[in-house]
Structure 1
Amino acid sequence: MKTKILSLAAILLFSFTAFGQSVKDVPATLKSAFTQKFSGATKVKWSRENDKEWEAEFKLGGKYYSANFDNAGTWLETEYQISVKEIPATVKTAIDKESAGAKIKVSEVTETKDGKSYEFVISKGKNETELVIDNYGNIIKREQLKEESKKDRME
């Protein structure tokens, strides 16, 4: 029994350290690409998303961001939270049409080479819905959240 527990502990430890990379492990081309795109970023923490992608979490201009790059240093996406006051009018109108009277619990911007989109978790009564809306107010995704998703969002 002890052997099984120790083996499991070793596997878990290896799993976590495989993706928790220190800054010295981040390729120089990646650091350079990050610095060019996010000049002035502070509190930068790198991690490995998978074997093809890195994520940097950082602070810039008073906001916290996460940005993903591939192994070659090509920027893939940036995400950051915004306040309800920062939601563009066209996007806010789409939310109001979709679910009048709903409360916005989470609001986030995602930027990619293809443009900007807005992701929200809205609640009305006991129901929570995830909405993804483009810059023009078009709903790209609508998904009713289940209990497991709500718990994941809270962690």
Structure 2
Amino acid sequence: MKKLIVCLITLSSVGFMSCQEKSDKVPEAVKITFQKKYPGENDPDWKKDDHGNWESHFKIDGEKYRADFNEDGTWIETENDIKKDNLPEAIKKVLKEKFPDEEITEVERVDNAEKGLFYDVELKRKGKNKDIMFREDGTIIN
């Protein structure tokens, strides 16, 4: 039992230190761009993704957001989950017409540096789910 407790404490300490290490290594350019884009947001959680970009996780008015930045501080995109009911009516109409029997597993509102504002709707599929990107007017963009 004593060994188990020591092991748990050690693992917890290592986990905590590794989290601290990640946030301490966020490049200053990334932090500056984040603050310019989201003034007043002082406590984002940072992590580096599989592509080498920096992800910030934070909340605005109780809603969860994720913003991505290149190593040099360039903003890539910001996304947040929304409820299916909060999709624009034009998108709901297209989904009903073109994908009437599809189950929606996730909906995100995405503001992207290159593509602008769009909605990413994930449909449940056998094997791998399918993402469809929509403009606010219901136009499919992928």
Which residue number corresponds to residue 15 of structure 2? none
Provide the aligned C-alpha RMSD in A: 2.9
Aligned to 1:116: 117
Within-5 A mapping of 1:1-150: 21-41=21-41, 43-50=43-50, 52-113=52-113, 114-123=115-124, 129-141=130-142
- The separation in 2 between residues aligned to 1:39 and 1:108, in whole angstroms, is 23
Matches of 1:98 and 1:42, distance apart in 2: 43
- Structure 2 CA distance for partners of 1:20 and 1:96, relative to 1, 3 Å: farther
Secondary structure at the counterpart of residue 46 of structure 2 = strand
Give 2:71's aligned amino acid: N
Distance in 2 between residues matched to 1:20 and 1:105, nearest whole Å: 33
Percent identical across equivalent pairs?
Answer: 26
Farther-moved stretch of structure 1 (113-122 vs 55-64): 113-122
Q: Which has the higher contact order (CA 8 A, sep 6+)?
A: 2
Q: Match of 2:93, SS?
A: helix
Quote the Cα distance in structure 1 between the aligned partners of 2:85 and 2:34: 29
1:123–1:58 distance in 2 versus 1, CA, 3 Å: same
Identify the residue that residue 4 of structure 1 maps to in structure 2: none
Structure 2: segments with no counterpart, 5+ residues? 1-17
Q: 1:85 to 1:42 in 2, by over 3 A?
A: farther
| CA positional deviation for 1:92 | 1.1
Aligned partners of 2:140, 2:76: CA distance in 1, in Å?
A: 22
Q: Which runs of 5+ in 1 are unaligned?
A: 1-16, 142-155
- Give the direction of change, closer, same or farther, for the CA distance of 1:50–1:104 in structure 2 (3 Å limit): closer
Q: Which has the higher strand share?
A: 1
User: In structure 2, what is the Cα distance between the partners aligned to 1:106 and 1:52?
Assistant: 25
